[in-house]
Amino acid sequence: MTAETQIKDTISTNDVVLFMKGTKSMPQCGFSSRVAGVLNFMGVEFADVNVLADEDIRQGIKDFSDWPTIPQLYVKGEFVGGCDIITEMTLSGELDTLLDENGVTYDKDAADKIREANA
């Protein structure tokens, strides 16, 4: 199976996927940790793909999305963005809207707490 096929399969069979350095329970970089932390805190069920475990996937996801950095978040098969974009979307409420529109369950109170803590 090619990296592209593996990536397509992963994002099509999971509502939310985070391609990251490390895992959701043990991130291996600050940016991955921030995005995984937000998703975990908000109670979002997501698949994590550790790009450090497979060099083909690590490069393949960058080619697939035409985005040069990790982490990368996908919701319902669509690329959303990296750490800065997810942080901005969380603080503005856009992430809530995106999750709502795609039928992804999350804790709205937790999302509000993130915004309150960063106001």
Interval 2-12: pLDDT, tens: 999 999 999 99
For residue 69, give every residue at least 6 positions away whose Cβ sits within 8 Å of its Cβ, in sequence order, or none: 31, 62, 82, 83
Interval 43-63: pLDDT, tens: 999 999 999 999 999 999 999
**100 phi, psi to nearest 5 deg:** -60, -50
Report the binding-site residues for [2Fe-2S] cluster.
Answer: 29
State the pTM of this model.
0.96
Report the binding-site residues.
Answer: 29
C-alpha R_g of the chain: 14
pLDDT of residue 71: 98
- Domains observed in the chain: 3-117 (3.40.30.10)
